[in-house]
Amino acid sequence: MDHFLYHDGTLHAEQVALSDIAAAVGTPFYCYSTATLERHFRVFDEALGELAHTICFAVKANSNVAVIATLARLGAGADIVSEGELRRALAAGVPPQKIVFSGVGKTREEMAFALTTGIGQFNVESAEELEALSCVAVETGVSAPIALRVNPDVDAKTHAKIATGKSENKFGVPMARAAETYAMAAALPGIEVVGIDVHIGSQLTELAPFEAAFNRVADLTRSLRAAGHRIERLDLGGGLGIPYTRSNDAPPLPFDYGAMIERTVGDLDAHIVIEPGRLIAGNAGVLVSSVIYHKQGEGRSFLILDAAMNDLVRPAMYDAWHDIVPVIEPEPGIETLPVDIVGPVCETGDTFAKGREMPPLRPGELVAFRSAGAYGAVMASEYNTRPLIPEVIVNGNRFEVIRARPTYAEMIGRDRIPDWLAQEPAEPQPAT
């Protein structure tokens, strides 16, 4: 469920008409719903029932400080993959002890900053990273609490670019080498073993891959404890999918996911850490865009928008589907026609949908891309020197710009002309 509904013929975010926001900030823009963020967090929290647990929002899904702060006030921690995301989580008020540092390529500088900040856990991905973290911990005089990320070699049955739990993926330590790597960790100075981490991918629409992975984690937990390791936390990652269209089969409900966690690892008396991102933020956001032209091509009709692949790259990168709806509700029974919905960037890949059935839309009319709250604004770029678009958050009948659209002067002002180009050009020399 989300809080983007038609009222009096206009699509609203909670109690605010998206057309009113468009009039105030221009298009395109991202809009997030506070009520939806809060509801999704609470539903997920309740799904874990009586299990001791912490929900660490995956900041890579949506890194706006206002979004993170909204969740932090409900008790959320943060799953981060860079120093920048760590700084954002801290700025949003996430307690350091509720921050988990994931990712395969942490630098020594990032490790040192995280250690001095006092984060709750490093999810270590390799023996090489363990050795580096040990050195940095000794140098800083701070012990590093770690969970080793194990790769269970489970097919997540998701898009190849977001699957992370198969043996050929770059993530984690193979399950077969987990025991020796934990023994290595226990012997290293500055390292404190606290748990196990696993994450098999994103946008999973079945529980079976999770269950297979978590059963392997449960077996590993018992084996490591028997070997004398203190395994107090089980970080089970994120990855539960969301419905991107109202007509497809819905992914499993959080309640069913929580029940599956209970039956696989609930008897281990471990603190459960979950790292959802898309599940909380995905359907809590929309991208609003204006029609520039309705162009008739040779045998195809194109709806050209002012949003582009640099604003929302998921369709170009993953062939992802987003429901795209008019902001002004169409009249019942109005005829629809198939159109290719595209942006203005000079790439054929700047295509959001092909042959999508849409009602007639004129230049200046607004459309909304649903389910755009995760992996939307965070993956945006300034390709074609197009400014990053504003982000807006709604709370009831109020809205606030939480990231402004930069001016062209601000964008270009970040570039620097070197001294040798700033000087007067030399006189051309005559040919000899």
Q: Kindly list the catalytic residues.
A: 346
Cα dihedral 350→352→357→360 (10° resolution):
-60
What are the contacts of 105-114 at 24+ separation with CB within 8 A?
106/132, 106/133, 108/132, 108/135, 108/136, 109/83, 110/82, 110/83, 110/86, 111/136, 111/137, 111/144, 112/136, 112/139, 112/140, 113/83, 113/86, 114/83, 114/86
Counting Cα atoms < 13 Å in the Cβ hemisphere of 7 gives: 11
Dist CA 130 CA 146 (whole Å): 9
Residue 50: other Cβ atoms inside 10 A:
7
Give SS3 for 258.
helix
Q: ω into residue 28 within 30 of 0, thus cis?
A: yes
Dist CA 6 CA 289 (whole Å): 17
Residue 26: other Cβ atoms inside 10 A:
14
Dist CA 374 CA 372 (whole Å): 6
